[in-house]
Structure 1
Amino acid sequence: MSKSINKILLGCVVLLFAACEKTVEIDPPLNEITTAQVFSTDKLATSAMAGVYTGLASTTTQNNVNTVYSSLYADDLAYLAVNPTYLEVANNSYSALSTFQGTIFSEWYSVIYRANSVIEGLQKYEGTSAQVKKQLTAESKVIRAYCYFNLINTFGDVPLVLTTDVTISALQPKETVATIYKQIIADLSEGKANLLDNYSASSNTRLGVNKFVATALLARTYLFTGDYAAAESNASEVITASNLFSIIPAATMTTGVWTKNNPESIWQMSSPIAITNQYTVEAGTFLATVTTSPQFEIRSSLLQQFDSNDLRRKNWMRTYGTGINARVLPYKYKYATNAEAVTAGVIEGPTVLRLAEQYLIRAEARARIGTNITGARTDMNVIRTRAEATVSITTDPAVLLQEILLETRKEFFCEQTHRWFNIKRLGQADAILTALKPGYKPTSKLLPIPTANIDANPNLIQNPGY
């Protein structure tokens, strides 16, 4: 976060168009481009915005840690090997002396810094059209909100940095989670109001944020903050946009949910390595060594939750080995290498948001409000029906709510941060993990603030328990 705005934005203008998948030709040498020039035309400003997308997609936190670490923090996944960091994560035994959380903390703030740089540059310098300025400012704020949502659900109270001025940010104290949620909602609401309701700004790919990305993130945020009416209404807006979104049917769900630009996806990332890559880092992590010795396995407590005919158990998990050596692994993304994906003729897209979540958000919100139990059950059964699982017929609101929460777990196992963030939101983490992991402590629900950041900022206080 101590880098100058010039260094970051000069790098942005030569990055690939993560949202548009094409490069920008720039005539002046890099050492002649000033910050003012970056925002002197719509084309250059758009390339700076592409740098924000590329920066996010290329972080190890977004392309790997969010799924792998979160599945280990929670109760989806067990670790079978000896890597010290994975052992810390799997046992929730991290401490202030741990180092892995420093990367997570710095990568989220690095993307926030890039987003703030674009927001400030568009405000300060002339040259971009009013429409492009409005569009890129809104995109930057949605991405900033997404980063802060992840930060507070990982670390709790953190500094709320809304500027690139390091004389201010370097000494900022923590803000409360409640305060940061207000900023998240403000940023997402502005994005919802100002972004297009299609994907034309990202060349009709789902790599860019639009109105419905902001709306879907608002639905999630309102669910986490307990505003169930707002969660329901925002999820409904996404669900009813049937010209853009639909649930992938059972016949093609094995791979269809994970392919690039499929109609269930709301927001996807570009490959963190090369725009032409057709596989995901997550699959590379889970599946790369399975033929020799798998590093991970899905916990039996999760496997037991699935009906025998559930297509998610059949198609989104895979058993490696036999007998006592058999291990069940996540198999949502299918290809550990680009060569495998190319041979199969499949292009997988790292998926951040998909429509199934909106159905389950609306189902939970309706169940908690209690005035539309039939609608809540119908929403959940959309997901169960696609999986060919037994549909619910309950009319008991309490039973239905528990069914919805379980359905969310089954639908989103080993996917992004869903299980980890949800068991903390629901107040279930201590009971679940104390029984599962002997070394677990309630303070482990939050990672420690990196020691290097505390040493550099006397106003930054360590989290309890560290």
Structure 2
Amino acid sequence: MSRSIYNIMAGLLAFTIIISSGCEKIVDIDPPLNQVTTNLVFASDKLATAARSGMFSALAQSSTQSQGITVNSSLQADDLLYLATTAAYQEFNNNTYTAVSTSQASIFSEWYANIYRANAIIEGLQNTSGTTEAIRKQYTAEAKFVRAYCYFHLVNTFGDVPLVLITDPAITAFLPKTATAAIYAQMIADLTAAKSDLGVVYPGVTATTTSSNDRTLVNKFVATALLARVYMFTGNYAEAESNASEVIASSLYSLIPAATMANGVFAKDNAESIWQMSPPSINTNQYTLEAGIFIPTAFNLINFNYRLDPRFTALFSDTDLRRINWMNNTTFSGEIYTIPYKYKYRTQALALAANVTESLIVMRLAEQYLIRAEARARIGTNLSGALADLNAIQTRAEATLTTSTDATSLIADIALENRKEFFCEQAYRWYNLKRTGQADAVLGALKSTYTPKSKLLPIPQAALDANYNLTQNPGY
């Protein structure tokens, strides 16, 4: 990793920087501040809260999290097509990435910048005594969750990467890669600790208001939901089922019913939302950046930058509510163009006019049903339970119900349901294609430019140039 990237992360320890919500450029800045400044940052609960708020805000406002995950991964997979000419997006659409691309450098550095913030909070709370024990415990748990979340995306994007758990750039600047399996083990350790130390109630609300509270921060069940996902990705299906079951059993969450799913699933603080991101720019905004990307400024062909692949939209029945409510069609010269329409307001003015507040939903309950369904199908001892979980998602969408209890058929149907439910949402389809070993066969048949190396982005050239211990990913 480049020294400049680490200098950015080190410099973020300054109080005035760590509570900011802006994104840093890859430039050299001053070296890390000393312990005196660290003591000042964590001198009280109030100041520690500002640092913790900055961690969540910076994550939400980063271009990778606020839009890149969904857009890039949807192009890399087989649901979305890019119609314009920007080179960076063409790379993702064709799965032909280059190590000198600024897009790869930005993704790499932004995840590590967020990891640095988390590490700085963990270290600061451990090494100072200005905060109460309750705050120290909670904020450490939250930072461990954020660190695990960022590493989940790093390994699923780049594969083996350096495992950075401290803030000292003298040690971290020249770290070699760590095997993905070891990074997953660290994720599990962080999430297990976070799950144990976080409360059931979302921070900042009382036990009497848990049904409608701000879900941009994390509680025990947010950590549990991510832990279920991580266990699924590591093949520990028993633990994936167990953790998903804990989330499903919680009274905090319920699937948005069919009657209100058009707008309800992606509305702020809805009952299905497990974790969401704060809105762009300022907290009073009511729209998402994803809507601004996918919804054109005018419905004419010249303004269409993206469309859903017709081969994908053909998988839905005409009565599937996801086809009806989460997609939008326009016809040009007799051909139907369909765009993602989960988020429906591309500007603040439009959201205000509709009196709707949308939030970027990062994790929601439907995923936990499908995690548990797949885990049960792969374990093979509760196939009826797997079918019931799958049917719960299909019923809400008013889709054709699966009836088979054959394990192989169930796993295939669950994979298809995952694709339908989570199209153009975070990186579900792209990551699942790779997790299940299907990426080469599926994408190789669709894209002449796809090759097996395309499953991972290259390590940015700037990072390789600065760190002699880093090696490039195979094929680049």
Task: Please give the range of the TM-score, normalised by the shorter of the 2 chains.
Answer: over 0.9
The answer (yes or no) to whether the contact 2:138–2:198 under 8 Å persists in 1 is yes
The match for 2:93 is 90
CA distance in 2, matches of 1:395, 1:56: 41
CA distance in 1, matches of 2:12, 2:392: 48
- 2:223 aligned with 1:205: no
- 2:224 aligned with 1:215: yes
- 2:182 aligned with 1:160: no
The answer (yes or no) to whether the contact 1:289–1:295 under 8 Å persists in 2 is no
CA distance in 1, matches of 2:54, 2:341: 31
Q: Label 1:174 to 1:331 Cα distance change in 2 as closer, same or farther (>3 A).
A: same
The match for 1:238 is 247
Q: Label 1:6 to 1:122 Cα distance change in 2 as closer, same or farther (>3 A).
A: farther
The Cα shift of 1:14 comes to 5.1
The match for 1:427 is 437
The match for 1:45 is 48
Residue number among 282, 291, 303 corresponding to 1:283 in the alignment = 291
Q: Label 1:2 to 1:411 Cα distance change in 2 as closer, same or farther (>3 A).
A: same
- 2:466 aligned with 1:448: no
- 2:105 aligned with 1:102: yes
Between 362-371 and 297-306, the greater mean CA deviation after superposition: 297-306
Residue number among 3, 7, 17 corresponding to 2:8 in the alignment = 3
Q: Deviations over 1:401-436 (max 9, x none)?
A: 111110011000010000000000011111111111
CA distance in 1, matches of 2:239, 2:161: 25
The match for 2:381 is 371
The match for 1:249 is 257
- 2:144 aligned with 1:141: yes
The Cα shift of 1:13 comes to 6.5
Residue number among 346, 350, 356 corresponding to 1:340 in the alignment = 350
Q: Could you list the runs of 5+ residues in structure 2 that have no partner in the other structure?
A: 1-5, 22-35, 207-212
State TM-score, norm by structure 2: 0.92
The answer (yes or no) to whether the contact 1:59–1:272 under 8 Å persists in 2 is no
The Cα shift of 1:399 comes to 0.9
The answer (yes or no) to whether the contact 2:254–2:272 under 8 Å persists in 1 is yes
CA distance in 2, matches of 1:422, 1:202: 35
Q: Deviations over 1:271-304 (max 9, x none)?
A: 1311111000001000133523211111122112
The answer (yes or no) to whether the contact 1:52–1:115 under 8 Å persists in 2 is yes
The answer (yes or no) to whether the contact 1:58–1:272 under 8 Å persists in 2 is yes
CA distance in 1, matches of 2:449, 2:69: 22
- 2:391 aligned with 1:381: yes
CA distance in 2, matches of 1:80, 1:5: 39
CA distance in 2, matches of 1:124, 1:227: 35
The Cα shift of 1:162 comes to 0.3
CA distance in 2, matches of 1:226, 1:119: 29
- 2:406 aligned with 1:396: yes
Q: Deviations over 1:226-278 (max 9, x none)?
A: 00000000000000002x10000000000000000001000000013111110
Q: Deviations over 1:334-369 (max 9, x none)?
A: 011111001000000101100000000000000000
Q: Deviations over 1:122-143 (max 9, x none)?
A: 0111110001000000000000
CA distance in 1, matches of 2:153, 2:18: 27
- 2:80 aligned with 1:71: no
The Cα shift of 1:5 comes to 4.7
The match for 2:131 is 128
Matched residue SS, 2:117 = helix
The Cα shift of 1:205 comes to 0.7
Aligned residues: 449
Residue number among 442, 448, 462 corresponding to 1:438 in the alignment = 448
The Cα shift of 1:42 comes to 0.6
- 2:367 aligned with 1:362: no
CA distance in 2, matches of 1:158, 1:14: 27
The Cα shift of 1:35 comes to 2.3
CA distance in 1, matches of 2:433, 2:46: 44
CA distance in 1, matches of 2:9, 2:328: 47
The answer (yes or no) to whether the contact 1:202–1:208 under 8 Å persists in 2 is no
The answer (yes or no) to whether the contact 2:145–2:194 under 8 Å persists in 1 is yes
Matched residue SS, 1:255 = helix
Matched residue SS, 2:81 = strand
Matched residue SS, 1:34 = helix
The Cα shift of 1:12 comes to 5.0
CA distance in 1, matches of 2:418, 2:469: 39
Q: Deviations over 1:34-77 (max 9, x none)?
A: 32111111111011000100110011000001000100000010
The Cα shift of 1:201 comes to 3.7
The answer (yes or no) to whether the contact 2:9–2:116 under 8 Å persists in 1 is no
Paired letter, 1:98: S
CA distance in 2, matches of 1:249, 1:239: 15
CA distance in 1, matches of 2:253, 2:17: 31
Paired letter, 1:211: K
CA distance in 2, matches of 1:117, 1:100: 26
Matched residue SS, 2:13 = helix
Q: Deviations over 1:93-133 (max 9, x none)?
A: 11223221000000000000000000111011111000100
The answer (yes or no) to whether the contact 2:19–2:53 under 8 Å persists in 1 is no
CA distance in 1, matches of 2:285, 2:447: 38
Q: Label 1:237 to 1:276 Cα distance change in 2 as closer, same or farther (>3 A).
A: same
Matched residue SS, 1:160 = coil
The match for 1:264 is 272
CA distance in 1, matches of 2:133, 2:11: 23
- What is the aligned-residue RMSD (CA, Å)? 1.4
Matched residue SS, 1:106 = helix
Matched residue SS, 2:362 = strand
